[in-house]
A and B are shown apart, each in its own frame.
Chain A
Amino acid sequence: MTSAPPRPTLIPVSLTVNGLPVDAAVPGRLLLADFLRDSLGLTGTHVGCGHGTCGSCTVLVDGEAVRSCLQFAVQLDGCAITTVEGVSPDGQLTPVQQAFQDNHGMQCGYCTPGLVCSLTALLAKDPSPTEETIVDTLNGHLCRCTGYQNILKAARQAAGRPVEEAHG
């Protein structure tokens, strides 16, 4: 006596993801994170909490750092999204990414894509941010592996600031 599955209403959305046009019809409740990961196969965006706290799922929406676990895909109609896969245009590490490797700013790598996206957004707007701005940005991210010191060093390097100094 299996009843027919209730068919979710699908809503059309058109957006740009990593420079390519994407047209899809999605259920209203589909999260942007799940849309990117499961529908588009862009699994570099990670879900660490699903409730907006950890920052692992951060992507760029029209240049702004946005938590993709807090958005529904349908809200992104007409937007341009860049995920970690699209941060580097040519598959070479960008200065932000290189800074993470240079400073051992990552261990398991789970939180890393979100940090790369946040710092990429920050530096695109403000190539020479103050220490305070950097710390503010990083404070929005949880990393369980590194203790943050090397992430801070990576961010400083990417921002052209002295890497080795105690913070206040």
Chain B
Amino acid sequence: MTVPEPTAGPTAARPKYVGGAVKRREDPRLLLGRGRYVADINLAGTVYMAIVRSPHAHARITSIDTSRAVAAAGVLAVLTWADIKDEAGPLPCIDRYTDSLPVLQTALADGVVRYVGEPVVALVASTEYGAEDALSLIDVEYEPLPVVVDLDEATAGTTLLYPEHGTNVMTTIAQDVGDVAAAFAAADRVYEETFTIHRYVPMPMETRGVVAEVDPITERLTLTTSTQFPHLVRGFLSGVLGMPESRIRVVAPDVGGGFGAKCEFYCEEVLAPLFALRLRRPVKWIEDRRTSMVASSHAREQKHTVRVAVQDDGTITAVDAQSWTSNGAAYCTLATTPASISSAMLRGPYRIPHYRARAHCVVTNKTPLAVYRGAGHPQAVLVMERMVDTIAADLGRDRVELRLQNMLTPAELPSDRGTAIVLAGQVVYDTGDYGACLERAAEMIGLSGDWEAEQAAARAEGRYLGIGLASLVEETSIGPYESAVVRVDGAGKVTVLTGSSPHGQGHVTTFSQLVADELEIDIEDITVLYGDTDVVADGVGTFASRSAAIGGAAARKAAGVVKEKALGVAAHVLEIDVADLEWRNGAAHVRGVPARARTLGELASAATAWNAPLPGGMEFNLEATYQHQAGGIAFSHATHAAKVGVDVETGEVTVLDYVVVHDCGTVINPTIVEGQVHGGVAQGLGGTFMEELAYSPDGQPLPMTLQDYIMPTLGDMPWIRTDHMESPTPLNPYGMKGAGEGGATGAPGALVNALQDALAPFGVNLTSDGPWTPDKVLALIPEDPA
């Protein structure tokens, strides 16, 4: 083989992409209207699915008459539970504890409906509007049953959703650390409080949707679905239908936000395939907004009671906590995770050596509840941070000082907290400087200096200002693993396959940054593919702030293996020992002879079948698969600080300033991280001041449109100021932790504490996360505020 004259790569040091504010590579396509979301997919011959849903919160189905629909022109098929019960098993719940009672959902109601919106009958018609029309041709009769929507009533169990179990409490999670009884016996003071957290929802701007089709050649099923975890959906669907995974392809195209609502496996992902298998036509279903209010997972609703043991010097020695989560009518795919996280993480950054929690998952006649950005963290942060402020006020201590006194210091890390999170594992805080983070946030919001004078002066003028703090530690980057493939074509262009499928997080950009740095090539030379189980054989998904850290590490590791292979090929081509080569600027260089080099493309080309032979044992093609396994949970941390003003005439709260100081380890792209913080804070602010998925006592959901489920718009938002700290985690080869959820996790606690601070002169004690709408705020203020 003739060795061509060496081509030298440029020798100047290449700037690193990681850590840089690289503009998103996915944006131009989306900005030009070329995105491809599920609703945009219109296959030839598509037929449309529509679903009859229960109007009752709890009822026995006494009869279903589908004959008028079956006879109607344009209606192609109708399915009830009786038609599919032998084909479709229950929907999975993957975070059940071994002693959890089995309360799983079915694709269509099995004789009893337990929430408004539960699917009862599904049909398919030849047009989308026609499918909606045909719903009125299905006659279902119900015998109403007693309804329980209140968490306390449900826990008491006078009305049971599943009488066969004799209780509505489906799981009780226990966390036991140290000697709580002894700590309380020795405590100088004990504080006790009950907190309620209301129900609100992720509400991505793109609703859910599916397209199912059977490939006429392979007879395999393709399910295109708006999901955060296509690979898991493939497994779930396989399990529910008893169909081998090899016969299923799941595609997540562009996904218009998820926040947890699309980290679920839903009945429509079973029903559309069942119709497609019967009709051999593509079956499409797009959730309308009204339906999404009841048919996509709900979130947050919990009640907490806490007792806190405190010494006179301000040391918090123990917490004894109970919580109840309103899980809705049945278990979701992720059902116990919110309760599990709340109970495992309640102590946040504080030492508190003795801790006991019992977290109960309770069924109620509401839409099933699952994870939403932060899962159980925001609730826990609100409870803990309200208690810390209460204690500080009672002891006459500065709230920053009291926090610092009780916070774990960097010297105390790693710290095994003695608790565990379902699916994720033991809680062992890894790295961070919680105190420095708090002090920085307090300084930025203006707590040092003359804040108290400013507040007093404003009050004298009838303006009520408050500052609230919330310090948090959050679970991120959970495993078990993520996979990646990196391959180089003969032109030196690189394809990265990741099993982690995005929905707005900018994976194309961050994964390109990581791989470009590893191979020292241009970011434009990289293509990132995801979201199709046939293209990327293996993967886990995007949730729990894990993608960039776990999936990104896998991609960069795979690129590293490719680089090693390339060096091996270079050694062969240049007839030199591999130890005499170094990788620089996308090329293998002979040490000391920089001009003797081979570029990545040349090496990739040399490793192909037609340019061989390679020496025995050397693999063809520059390609590598890498599975990065998380060595444990990485914990990000932050302090949020909010400044609010309350109009005591109208009850309106204005967020005047908002600061987030956070630490998510090594940052790949600060702009993207900041965007995640902004979005999370907006969701926390929405939940605190406007959003509620309220129910009437008889189980009817009250908001039905975005006119009555009020979400924040620009005018509701403060200008968010952020500052970053970087404590790399040893658990990740590149020090990365997760950044996706902290914004939503900290905001409710900081905002409620700020409101409390503003209204303190009225003797209020806020024990709920609201939503603090003007009417509710006004109710806290005496008639004559002066």
Contact = CB atoms under 8 A, between A and B. Distances in A.
Contacts of A4: 73
Contacts of A67: none
A143 B74 CA distance: 37
Interface string B241-271: 0000000000000111101000000000000
Contact of B504 (A43, A45, A107): A107
A43 B671 CA distance: 28
B506 interface: yes
A64 interface: no
B714 A139 contact: yes
A135 B683 CA distance: 19
In the A-B complex, the 5 residue pairs with the closest CB atoms: A44-B33, A110-B256, A108-B504, A147-B678, A109-B30
A100 B27 contact: yes
A51 B707 CA distance: 8
A101 B27 contact: yes
Nearest to B30: A109
Interface stretch (B34-42, B147-155, B335-343, B460-468): B34-42
A79 B715 CA distance: 32
Interface residues of A, number: 65
Interface string B683-704: 1000000000000000000000
B705 A83 contact: no
B72 interface: yes
Contacts of A142: 205, 706, 711, 713
A114 B64 CA distance: 42
B384 interface: no
Given A43-B36, A135-B715, A150-B675, A144 B30 contact: no
B682 interface: yes
Contacts of A38: 42, 128
Contacts of B290: 50
A166 interface: yes
Nearest to A117: B33
A140 B714 CA distance: 9
Contact of B203 (A3, A116, A144, A149): A144
Interface in A12-28: 27
B32 interface: yes
Nearest to B204: A144
Contacts of B74: 5
A42 B129 CA distance: 19
A76 interface: no
Interface of B: 23-24, 26-28, 30-37, 39-40, 42, 71-74, 128-130, 202-207, 254-257, 259, 288-290, 503-506, 657, 671-672, 674-675, 677-683, 705-707, 711-715, 717, 719-720, 743
Contacts of A44: 32-35
A110 to B, nearest CB: 3
B714 A152 contact: yes
A49 B706 contact: yes
A101 B40 CA distance: 23
B679 A144 contact: yes
A42 to B, nearest CB: 7
Given A54-B706, A112-B30, A147-B681, A43 B40 contact: yes
A110 B33 contact: no
Contacts of A87: 33
Contacts of A106: 24, 27, 30-31
Contacts of B203: 144
Contacts of A109: 26-27, 30-31, 35, 254, 256, 504
Contacts of B23: 101-102, 104
Interface of A: 1-6, 27, 29, 34, 37-38, 41-51, 53-54, 56, 83-85, 87-88, 91, 93, 97, 100-102, 104, 106-113, 116, 135, 138-152, 165-167
B678 A48 contact: no
Contacts of B657: 166
Contacts of B130: 5
26 contacts: A1-B71, A29-B129, A48-B289, A49-B706, A50-B288, A53-B705, A54-B706, A84-B33, A88-B32, A106-B24, A108-B257, A110-B257, A116-B31, A140-B713, A141-B713, A142-B711, A142-B713, A144-B202, A144-B204, A144-B257, A145-B675, A147-B679, A147-B680, A148-B714, A149-B717, A149-B719
A101 B289 contact: no
B205 A93 contact: no
A104 B37 contact: no
Contact of A110 (B202, B206, B712): B206
Contacts of A108: 204-206, 254-257, 503-504
A144 B711 contact: yes
Nearest to A69: B289
B675 A107 contact: yes
Nearest to B71: A1
B71 A2 contact: yes
Contacts of B683: 144
A101 B671 CA distance: 11
The DSSP consensus for interface residues of chain A is: loop
Contacts of A135: 714-715
Contacts of A145: 205, 257, 504, 675, 679
Given A2-B71, A51-B706, A110-B37, A104 B24 contact: yes
A53 to B, nearest CB: 4
Given A107-B504, A147-B717, A150-B675, A45 B257 contact: no
Nearest to A98: B31
Counting chain B CB atoms within 10 Å of each CB, the highest count among A37, A51, A148 belongs to A148
Nearest to A38: B42
B707 A53 contact: yes
Contact of A148 (B31, B40, B713): B713
Contacts of A46: 37, 39, 205-206, 256
Counting chain B CB atoms within 10 Å of each CB, the highest count among A54, A85, A97, A144 belongs to A144
Nearest to B31: A97
Contacts of A2: 71-73
Given A50-B288, A146-B675, A148-B714, A111 B39 contact: no
Contacts of B39: 37, 43, 46-47
Given A38-B42, A104-B672, A148 B682 contact: yes
A97 to B, nearest CB: 4
A97 B257 contact: no
A107 B505 contact: yes
Nearest to B40: A43
A51 B289 contact: yes
A110 B258 CA distance: 11
B720 A147 contact: yes
Nearest to B70: A2
A7 B683 CA distance: 46
Nearest to A45: B33
A93 B503 contact: no
A93 B204 contact: no
Given A1-B71, A43-B40, A48-B289, A107 B706 contact: no
Contacts of A138: 713-714
A147 B682 contact: yes
A128 B743 CA distance: 33
